[in-house]
Amino acid sequence: MIRALLFDFDGTLVDTESVDLRVWREVFDAHGVELPVDRYALRIGTLNGPDELDELDALLDVPCDRDAITVARRAREL
């Protein structure tokens, strides 16, 4: 018999969106550019949307180190 159900809509139990936004801002700041928040907002609550690393690459003269950013961002996020 089911005694309880727990629905965790992203952000219900833990505010993950503000942490994610803060960390992405730090990544963009470290590269000397500003995170385009209007573009970032398009992916909130979705599985699809603009990719932040693509957005970062579009603002830089050379491609970013995606692997290094992903490792550092994940560590900071956790």
Give the active site residues: 8, 10
Residue tagged 């801002």 (tokens):
25
Q: Would you call 7 helix, strand, or coil by DSSP? A: coil
Q: Which of 77, 29, 35, 74 is nearest to 58 (CA)?
A: 35
Residue 24 near residue 50, CB atoms below 8 Å = no
